[in-house]
Structure 1
Amino acid sequence: MISILLAAAISQPLWFDNQHNGQLYVITPMVHLQNECQCDYRLKMLKTGISGTSTSVQQSAVTIAANTDVALTRISFNLQQGDRVQIYLSLNDGKQVSLENTLNLPK
């Protein structure tokens, strides 16, 4: 199992650990870099449904150790019938590192 996670991290250094139980979703944005990085991340979540649209933004500076899976943050929310969520994640150091990924739910 660890080798599968490591292979995923190497091929995609920025990914989402996605767990859910019924309507409750817990999303953990993850990163794995070969070199240590003083980076900034920005996460934007757009949720649309019958009750309307909501937007949530998180951003922070983080130190990412080399060759380590790092959880950037954790978000949880409920998805009801007809709801859709888009999560946009970006990570950069202003120099060499510039990564982006998107998660759409439900899949």
Structure 2
Amino acid sequence: MYTMVLLAALTNQIVFDAQQQGSIWTIVPQVMLTQDCECQIQLEAVRKGTSGNSNTRQRSRAHIKGNEPYSVSRLAINVDPGDDLTILVTVSDGKAINLRQQWSPPGIL
């Protein structure tokens, strides 16, 4: 257990805190870096479903402190049965840090 915590603290990563209440998913992408960074952040949410399609893209710059979790955004998205949802987060300083992570609700590829 402690090894997993230590490894998480030693690597740059993007993780997703996702909660479901009925058909609403609340997703909070979080970035953890080993060093301070003036980063460009891009978040894209793509939902395809019977009621229509939506594509949301957010871009921002942020100062992310090393070894402190940084919440990129908070999304609340209605996902009906049969819908496809993909959240993609990209974080880059234009040099050494280039992270990209994708998330979809369980059962959706």
TM-score under structure 1 normalisation?
0.87
Partner of 1:63: 63
Aligned CA distance change for structure 1 residues 38 and 104 (closer, same or farther; 3 Å)? same
Q: Which ranges of 4 or more aligned residues in structure 1 deviate by more than 6 Å?
A: 3-6
Q: Percent identity?
A: 31
Question: How far, CA to CA, are the matches of 2:4 and 2:104 in structure 1?
Answer: 22
Question: Normalising by structure 2, what TM-score?
Answer: 0.85
SS at match of 1:67: coil
> Where does residue 22 of structure 2 map in the other structure?
22
Ranges in structure 1 where 5+ consecutive residues have no aligned partner = none
Distance in 2, Cα, partners of 1:91 & 1:56: 17
* CA shift digits 1:31-83 (9 cap, x unpaired): 11110000011011110010221100111001100111111111111111111
Decide whether the 8 Å contact of 2:44 with 2:89 is kept in 1: yes
Q: Secondary structure at the match of 2:88?
A: strand
**Pairwise mapping of residues 28-107 of structure 1 onto structure 2 (< 5 A)?**
28-107=28-107
- Matched residue pairs, number? 107
- Return closer, same or farther for 1:50/1:21 CA change in 2, 3 Å cut-off: same
Instruction: Give, in whole Å, the separation in 1 of the partners of 2:83 and 2:102.
Output: 17
